[in-house]
A and B are shown apart, each in its own frame.
Chain A
Amino acid sequence: MAKTQNSAAGGKPAAETIEPILNVDGVTLQYKTKEHLITATYRVGFDVFPADRFVLLGPSGCGKSTLLKGIAGYMKPVEGAIRLKGREISDPGPDRVMVFQEFDQLLPWKTVKQNITFALRNGKKTDNAAEADDIAMEYINKVKLTGFADTYPHMLSGGMKQRVAIARGMAMEPDVLLMDEPFAALDALTRLQMQKELLQLWEDTHFTVLFVTHSIEEALIVGSRILVLSPHPGQVKAELNAHHLNHDNVGQKGFADVQQRIHDMLFADRILEDEIQAADRA
């Protein structure tokens, strides 16, 4: 496999000395449906460094969500290993908090604040009720939901629910925050707003986040480093830098070039995918 090194200006020269926080090493993930054994990813490998906004980007069927579930500990790789701070992952745990796309990820029987304190206390972040309350309020303020602390989730809009889920995830201060297309079910305006807020939150604390999306634009805006995956099964296609791109660059030449480049990579696979489907039908 020929690898073309394409180090953009302003990369991380210190990458050699700093240890990666998360190491995915030749991971093959498979799951069973009623009739098939599906290989979701094949020998995928990458490193996530502290403070990375690491994006897994690819079309549907590239196994990016499955990969995230593997990192979260819900699935075991059939080949390879996933290591967090050098320790192999075996089970789900509060050191890797998941934020889902689904709005029902909040416990409907808990208020906004209780959802966060529930996570803090069961995730062994703190045993002290007052301290849990303080941490919860701090993060509720951060996501601008101060007035909704005692509201039940069903009273909130989709965007507000995702904000609570993000606040809950961040309050846990996990080694890595795992976000599985968290804005995909939102309307375009809310999504834009949420992307900006997420970047703002990152500016505050430089947390490490692993973000799954199928939108090239979102990947470039949100991510600092992008892993492009090809589908059926998911394999690493490229790893690109995007730390220099954000909302302000959208539509500009540099942004559009990267966008086009990724589009071409994925488009090549799309033709292949169509051929496979045609072959399946034949």
Chain B
Amino acid sequence: MSTSSTRKKDSLPELVIRPEFELSDIEQAQTGDVARKLSLVERIWNINGVRKAVILLTLVAAWQAYTVGLDVEPLMLPRFTISFVALYEALFHGDLIYKIWFSVKVLLIGYGAGLALSAVLILWATANRFGSDFISMATAMFNPLPAIALLPLAMLWFGLGTASLVFVLIHSVLWAVALSTHNGFENVSQTLRMIGRNYGLHGIRYVAKILVPAALPSILAGMKIGWAFAWRTLIGAELVFGASSGSGGLGWFIFESSQNLETEGVFAGLFAVILIGIVVENVVFRNVELKTVNRWGMQS
């Protein structure tokens, strides 16, 4: 045993002892500037919007090339340029802008009501365990339920009108926001909770001054999901009974165009849906994030 370990030690590399040194002055590094500016092309390519615009233009070009090149039947798939002109016409010479306003108005009412209700639920859940259990169970039950599936019931209870739309919108917003806010609250670090209590915060002030800002990334994520759910639900609901109510929204515009065999009008309506979605996501929510969670380093 001891012989084998000594033999092993003999074959180990020996330490090489070298003389010490200390430099009195260090010469200037010769690699050029420490921070060199990237080339113009590199800098332009680093802008998010530029890369996304290139992707978008490629898709549009492919569409246009396909429809022009193969001479596709316009009733099935109109050219991009024609659809775009239809959007322009509907916006500035037609009544699309009023239809959008009608949809957005209903959407804001439903979204606002959904947010308010989820705030009430969340406060209840932070106050006691029963409320917390209720949120877990209710979100598990209702979150997978498509809001559109509730539309027949809504029409039965509230008739064909704004009330039914608001009802299904609340359903699509409430559970998504409540679920992610609740998760966000539960993930607030123990340290921050203790700090809050240390400085004498409790009850509603504790929720408002510690839990809400600490869980803001989750709350904003929930609000974004809620917004997307609500927007989809609204367009879908308008397609179902926009026809039977007097004034219609964006969904009704799409439905009407397809009934009139104006496929370019259908695309114009879809463009409007996409554009509004992009504006809300990239302008409204993005700016809120930049001013809050990004600035605070809670999300990159």
CA distance A124 to B199 in the complex (A): 8
Some 22 contacts from A to B, beta carbons below 8 A apart, are A92-B194, A93-B198, A94-B198, A98-B194, A98-B195, A100-B191, A100-B195, A102-B191, A107-B192, A107-B213, A107-B214, A108-B214, A108-B297, A109-B213, A109-B296, A109-B298, A122-B199, A122-B205, A123-B200, A153-B297, A154-B296, A154-B298
CA distance A107 to B191 in the complex (A): 10
The answer to whether B139 has its CB under 8 Å from any CB of chain A is no
Query: What range describes how many residues of B lie at the interface?
Result: 20 to 34
The answer to whether B292 has its CB under 8 Å from any CB of chain A is yes
How many residue pairs bridge A and B at CB < 8 Å?
65
| Chain A interface residues toward B at CB < 8 A | 72, 74, 91-94, 96-98, 100, 102, 104-105, 107-109, 118-119, 122-124, 152-155
CA distance A170 to B113 in the complex (A): 44
- Distance (Å) between the CB of B87 and the closest chain A CB? 41
Within residues 253 to 300 of chain B, which ones have a CB less than 8 A from any CB in chain A?
Answer: 292, 295-298
Contact A105 B297 (CB under 8 A): no
Q: A155 with B297: in contact, given A100-B191, A107-B213 (CB under 8 Å)?
A: yes
CA distance A100 to B191 in the complex (A): 8
Query: What chain B residues lie within 8 Å of A96 (beta carbons)?
Result: 198
CA distance A107 to B297 in the complex (A): 11
A-B CB proximity, top 7 nearest:
A154-B297, A123-B199, A109-B213, A92-B197, A122-B199, A102-B191, A108-B296
CA distance A154 to B294 in the complex (A): 10
CA distance A1 to B189 in the complex (A): 41
The answer to whether B105 has its CB under 8 Å from any CB of chain A is no
CA distance A72 to B200 in the complex (A): 12
The answer to whether B106 has its CB under 8 Å from any CB of chain A is no
Contact A72 B198 (CB under 8 A): yes
Contact A102 B199 (CB under 8 A): no
Q: A92 with B191: in contact, given A107-B213, A152-B295 (CB under 8 Å)?
A: no
